[in-house]
Amino acid sequence: MYVITGATSRTGSVVANYLIEKGQQVRVIGRNAERLTTFADKGADIFAADPADPAALIKAFCGAKAVYVMLQPNYIATSTDFRAFQDRIMDAIMPALEKAKIKYVVSLSSWGADKPEGTGPVAGLHQLEQRLNRIAGLNVLHLRPGYFMENTLSQVDNILTRNTAAGPFSPNVSFPFISTHDVGSAAGEALIKLDFLGKQVRELHGSQNLTMLEVAAIIGKAIQHPALTYIQDSQEQTRRDLLNLNFSEHIIQLILEVADAMNASHIQMLEPRSADNSTPTSYERFVYETLLPLYKQRTTNS
Ligand SMILES: NC(=O)c1ccc[n+]([C@@H]2O[C@H](COP(=O)([O-])OP(=O)(O)OC[C@H]3O[C@@H](n4cnc5c(N)ncnc54)[C@H](OP(=O)(O)O)[C@@H]3O)[C@@H](O)[C@H]2O)c1
């Protein structure tokens, strides 16, 4: 049996479905059993638990062949110490993996997780890797994906309210864009193969590197707004936008830090792009399949 933490997440749901489709026995964990019923309908065992509850995780992990481990996001206004939130989840996961004598873990890390600090929320994933690496006898594969394409869904609001794509990133620095579907599929494949031993890292570069100006051009073509461009917002503008979206001041600081780290290439992939670390979904396909429907829905509703 495979156990999937964060099973309702964008990546976790793909991992769970990938394994179910391969005929594997799967146990999915999330905070709310109702949100897990789609997996139960496909034959999965559902397990409602808070990700920071060690006793529940021991039970959930018992008997597992392998576990997909992730640190959930918590960006709401009441989140005043995100690193402490990440630590609480790790404090629950580590003893649970040890007590349940788990032999294999695929963990969701990130590009930039090689750096201990100066990377915003990614510093927590550095810790996740370090703590998993300290578990004797555990075989762990840390997946280090690039920048999620889904982050650019926020451009729909920018386009509708400001007639431009915008954000804290430099317009001309290129980032490795990856779809969360590809991340989940890579994790599912690794869980089926279980061909990693000891402590390993696998970078996932997505399909292509793009600058934010290139991202805006692709979106502009899809929404038939060929003049669409991208402007880099000031930190103050980004802070105001995120406050309006109910992000806490603390999280905003971390987001500004990660943006600075990406702009300065403090966060960067360590390997050159190759067929092995690239994944199939192009940004164009993501835009047509995911961003464009959202844009159309918003324009119809407004
Ligand atoms: N964004 C990027 O570009 C990027 C790049 C590399 C790595 N990462 C990492 O990827 C991970 C996120 O993966 P993802 O996109 O698959 O996740 P996601 O879809 O954003 O995860 C959402 C899930 O997290 C749980 N959750 C939400 N708020 C919570 C809270 N306050 N307390 C506990 N659980 C909560 C919810 O599950 P339930 O309600 O069902 O419990 C929800 O379904 C993070 O660790 C992030 O650092 C992100």
pLDDT value, residue 26: 98
Residue 17 near ligand 1, beta carbon < 6 Å: no
Residue 71 near ligand 1, beta carbon < 6 Å: yes
Binned at pLDDT 50, 70 and 90, residue 78 comes out as low
Whether residue 50 has pLDDT greater than 80:
yes
Return the domain boundaries, the chain: 2-148+178-204
Residues 6+ positions from 62 with CB-CB distance below 8 Å: 100
Q: Whose CA is nearest to atom 2 of ligand 1?
A: 148
Quick one: 2-148+178-204 is in which CATH superfamily? NAD(P)-binding Rossmann-like Domain (3.40.50.720)
Whether residue 42 has pLDDT greater than 70:
yes
What pLDDT, in 10s, does the model give residues 190-202? 999 999 999 999 9
What pLDDT, in 10s, does the model give residues 219-246? 999 999 999 999 999 999 999 999 998 8
pLDDT value, residue 141: 99
Query: CB burial class (10 A; 0-12, 13-18, 19+) of residue 56?
Result: middle
Nearest alpha carbon to residue 177 among 199, 201, 155, 193: 155
Task: Give me the chain's average pLDDT, please.
Answer: 96
Binned at pLDDT 50, 70 and 90, residue 37 comes out as very high
What pLDDT, in 10s, does the model give residues 145-166? 999 999 999 999 999 999 999 9
Binned at pLDDT 50, 70 and 90, residue 77 comes out as low
Nearest alpha carbon to residue 135 among 92, 101, 88: 101
* Residues, the chain: 302
Lowest model confidence (mean pLDDT) among 30-34, 68-72, 166-170, 297-301: 297-301
Binned at pLDDT 50, 70 and 90, residue 80 comes out as confident
Tally of CA atoms within 13 A in the half-sphere of 103 that contains its CB: 9
224 C-alpha to ligand 1 centroid (Å): 32
Residue 273 near ligand 1, beta carbon < 6 Å: no
Candidate of 4, 5, 8, 9 to mutate for ligand 1, largest count of ligand atoms within 8 Å of Cβ: 9
283 C-alpha to ligand 1 centroid (Å): 21
Share of the chain above pLDDT 90, in %: 94
Whether residue 125 has pLDDT greater than 70:
yes
71 C-alpha to ligand 1 centroid (Å): 7
